[in-house]
Amino acid sequence: MSSDFDRLMRRADTSLFRVFGEDRCAGKPSYTPPGGSPTGCEVMLGRDVAITGADGMFRSVKIVAELRTHQVRGKRGGLLELAEGRFKLQDFIDTDGLVERWELLEVT
């Protein structure tokens, strides 16, 4: 059973993804895991994001996707299809248990 805090944070994420999520007017994005079938999901994109590693060093990431873990669990090589194009999950960045962050590569 989830805690009151978890329920509160899930509601906060719902509002955040509704306002800032991708394709909120053009339909839902989809995620396809390697060897799997597509499923609808909510996605937020960040561009030119500075990420801090465990060693304290910063690196720049061109495109970062945030995925809600109760909808999908990302896997390296999985594909995101958005209105603006297709993207491959390249590197896992981190998770807070409710949202995963992934570095993306555009697929042409």
Q: What whole-number distance in Å separates Cα of residue 46 and Cα of residue 40?
A: 19
**Which pLDDT does position 68 carry in this prediction?**
92
pTM of the entire predicted model: 0.83
Mean pLDDT of the chain: 89
The residues with which 15 forms a beta bridge, in sequence order, are: none
Contact between 75 and 96 (Cβ < 8 Å): no
**Which pLDDT does position 52 carry in this prediction?**
86
Q: What whole-number distance in Å separates Cα of residue 45 and Cα of residue 103?
A: 10
DSSP assignment letter at 56: S
Q: Which residues of the chain have pLDDT under 50?
A: none
